[in-house]
Amino acid sequence: MGKRANKIERLKIFTAETGKLQMLIPIEWEYKNPSLYKTDKKAPESFGQYEKMLGAFQISCKEVNEHISGIIAANKLNAQSSDKDKLDFLEKLVVAEKSHNYMWLCAVDDHFILVTYIVNTRQHNFKRGILEFKQVRDALVTIKFIKPQFRDIVIAQNRYTLFMSSIAATIDLRNRALENGSFIEFIILTANHIDALLRSAIVLTNQLEQGNSDIDTTVLFQNETDKPIMEKEIYKRVMDRNIIDKKLFDELTVLYNERNKVVHRYIITDIRTEDILRIASTYDELDDKVWALTSSLEKKQFEQKIGLYGKGIEPGTESKDELKIKLQYQLRDKHGRIKLPERRKETGDI
């Protein structure tokens, strides 16, 4: 049981932006496409280790058209049902002068899945190359094609996961700002964190009231063309829902106005740097209040077996080692390929 649990902890779920495809990948792999929101829609999904992968691993999932029908027929593939626990792939290997080129093909429902892994022949035989190829095969067997009626659900779940990773990254940057004495940055990031916690509180409250696990992504994600839901609107919504009281609403509103002076009117008002320290301290106090409020909603969900926290481990009871591993890769996913300097100390509050 211990070995199995350890294996699960070292994997994470990848969900395609379309919601058509999910699979488990090693926790130390990242999504290699340039951006999660400006990806070339025709480009395959690309993955690899954060540092450097020996080979190139890609996957595409496309609706069957005339051209793809020809590929399916030429390879004598039978369309499989997405209801299957495990999809069967036809494996092909082309050995070139300096590379091993693997392809796995599968027809499922009305779609065609193509997986490729290309690696230098010499590196393929290295110990690390053998391990990497095993990881590719392990990921391959977890591929699941999602039926249309379930795609909105998996997209929303994935959006919540990305939202939580962003919160973790915000806390990381916030702690760095505090250590460096960058109080304006600290204020901006803490305001972001409070806003995110209140958005999460709306989602959790909806689930508690409705007795389900539905996720309102409109408060968690803003696309390029979406009408923005601003912080002050979030403050009003949570007060109207009695998630926060009028006193906390007023405190947040006052700080919002003072924060705007810091960001936009530091030069043209009489606000002093000394005032910025006071504002930062007050923001920190309100952040603790909002965090406690959100944590109580998570605990309530766990106790009532409702919503995102209604199953699994009770919030706040994960071991430090489990959290450290999880957060390490959440931060890397959100920060991207920027190399941040080593932290001077462990704050223990991410």
- Predicted confidence (pLDDT) per residue in 66-122, tens digit: 999 999 999 999 999 999 999 999 999 999 888 999 999 999 999 999 999 999 888
Give the burial string for 257-286 (b: 16+ CB within 10 Å, else e): ebbebbeeeeeeeeeeeeebeebbebbeeb
Mean pLDDT of 253-276: 93
Q: What is the mean pLDDT of residues 185-203?
A: 97
Please give the residue that has the higher pLDDT: either 11 or 20. Answer: 20
Please tell me the predicted confidence (pLDDT) of residue 121. 83
Is the pLDDT score of 260 beyond 60? yes
Q: How many residues does the chain have?
A: 350
pLDDT for the residue numbered 329: 72
For residue 347, what are the CA distances in angstroms to 100, 189, 291, 342?
A: 46, 16, 16, 13
Instruction: State whether the Cα torsion 36-38-44-46 is positive or negative.
Output: negative
Alpha carbons 301 and 278: distance in angstroms, whole number: 35
Residues 341/172, Cβ–Cβ less than 8 Å: no
Mean pLDDT of 229-242: 96
- Beta-sheet strand order (sheet of 111-120): 29-31, 45-49, 56-63, 111-120, 99-108, 90-95
Average pLDDT, the chain: 87
What's the pLDDT band for 183 if we cut at 50, 70, 90? very high
**In whole angstroms, what is the distance from residue 77 CA to residue 112 CA?**
10
Least confident among 60-74, 264-278, 281-295, 305-319: 305-319
**For residues 177-184, average pLDDT:** 93
Q: How far is CA 285 from CA 113, 252, 291, in A?
A: 51, 11, 10
Q: What is the pTM of this model?
A: 0.83
Residue 254 has pLDDT above 90, yes or no: yes
Helix intervals (H) in the chain: 2-9, 66-74, 121-124, 127-140, 148-179, 183-210, 231-240, 246-264, 273-304, 320-335
- Secondary structure (DSSP) of 261-294: HHHH-TTTS---HHHHHHHHHHHHHHHHHHHHHH
Is residue 348 pLDDT above 60, yes or no? no
- Give pLDDT, residue 15: 93
pLDDT at 335: 74
| Domain 2-146 class in CATH | alpha beta
In the chain, domain spans: 2-146, 151-335
Measured CA to CA, the distance from residue 172 to residue 189 in angstroms comes to 10
- Which pLDDT score, from 0 to 100, does residue 129 have? 87
In angstroms, rounded to a whole number, what is the distance separating the alpha carbons of residues 261 and 275?
A: 11
pLDDT band at 26 (very low <50, low <70, confident <90, very high): confident
In DSSP notation, 14-32 reads EE-TTSSEEEEEETTEEE-
Contact 259, 287 (CB under 8 A): no
29-82 pLDDT, tens digit each: 888 775 554 455 567 888 888 777 788 899 999 999 999 999 999 999 999 999
DSSP 42: T
At 321, is the pLDDT very low, low, confident or very high (cuts 50, 70, 90)? Answer: low
Q: For the residues 246-271, what does the mean pLDDT come to?
A: 94
